Amino acid sequence: MCGIIGCAGVRDTVPSLLEGLRRLEYRGYDSAGIAVLDGDGIGRRRVKGKIRDLDEEIRLHPLAGDCGIGHTRWATHGRPSEDNAHPHTDCSGTIALVHNGIVENYWSLKERLRGEGHVFRTETDTEVIVHLVEKHFRGSLEDAVRAAVGELEGAFAVACISSRDPGKIVVARNGPPAVVGLGSGETFISSDITPLLHHTRRVSYMSDGEIAVLTPSGARFTTFAGAPVEKAVETLDWEPAMIEKRGFEHFMAKEIFEQADVVRDTLKSRVSLESGRVFLDDIGIGQDVFRETTRVVLIACGTSYHAGLVGKYLLETLAHIPVDVEYASELRSRDFVMDRGTLVLGISQSGETADTLAALRATRDKARAVLAVTNNINSSMARGADGVLDLHAGPEIGVAATKTFVGQMAALALFALAFAQARGALGAEDGLALVQEFQRVPHKMDLVLGRAADIERAARRYLGCEHYLFLGRWINFPIALEGALKLKEISYTHAEGYAGGEMKHGPIALIDEGMTTLAIVPRDRVYEKMLANISEVQARSGRILAVAFEGDDKARAVAEEVFPIPETNQLFTPFLTILPLQLFAYYSAAAKGFDVDQPRNLAKSVTVE
Secondary structure of 237-254 as H, E, C letters: CCCHHHHCCCCCCCHHHH
C-alpha to C-alpha distance for 71 and 76, rounded to whole angstroms: 14
Q: What is the DSSP string of 118-173?
A: ----SS-STHHHHHHHHHH-SS-HHHHHHHHHTT--EEEEEEEEETTS-S-EEEEE
Residue 302 exposure: Cα atoms within 13 Å on the Cβ side: 22
Residue 492 exposure: Cα atoms within 13 Å on the Cβ side: 12
C-alpha to C-alpha distance for 400 and 406, rounded to whole angstroms: 13
Per-residue buried b or exposed e for 277-295, using 16+ beta carbons within 10 Å of the residue's own CB: bbebeebbbeeebbeebeb
| Torsion angles phi and psi, residue 353, rounded to 5 | -65, 120
- Residue 564: asked if its preceding bond is cis (omega within 30°), the reply is no
Give the pairing of strands 186-190 and 3-9.
antiparallel
Chain-centroid distance of CA 514 in Å reads 33
CA-nearest of 155, 193, 147, 189 to 173 is 155
Cβ neighbours around 525 below 10 Å, total: 11
Rounded to 5 degrees, what angle do the CA atoms 595, 472, 263 make?
65
**Residues 425, 319: contact at Cβ < 8 Å?**
yes
SS3 (DSSP) at 436: helix
C-alpha to C-alpha distance for 315 and 421, rounded to whole angstroms: 11
- What sign does the CA torsion over 119, 123, 125, 126 have? negative
Q: Which residues are catalytic?
A: 2, 604
C-alpha to C-alpha distance for 401 and 130, rounded to whole angstroms: 35
Q: Alpha helix (H) ranges present in 366-427?
A: 380-383, 403-422
Cβ neighbours around 269 below 10 Å, total: 8
- What sign does the CA torsion over 297, 607, 250, 203 have? negative
CA-nearest of 355, 7, 395, 5 to 191 is 5
Region of residue 414 (left: phi > 0; alpha: psi -120 to 50; beta: else): alpha
DSSP 367: S
Q: Alpha helix (H) ranges present in 201-349?
A: 251-257, 259-267, 287-292, 302-319, 328-331
C-alpha to C-alpha distance for 487 and 260, rounded to whole angstroms: 21
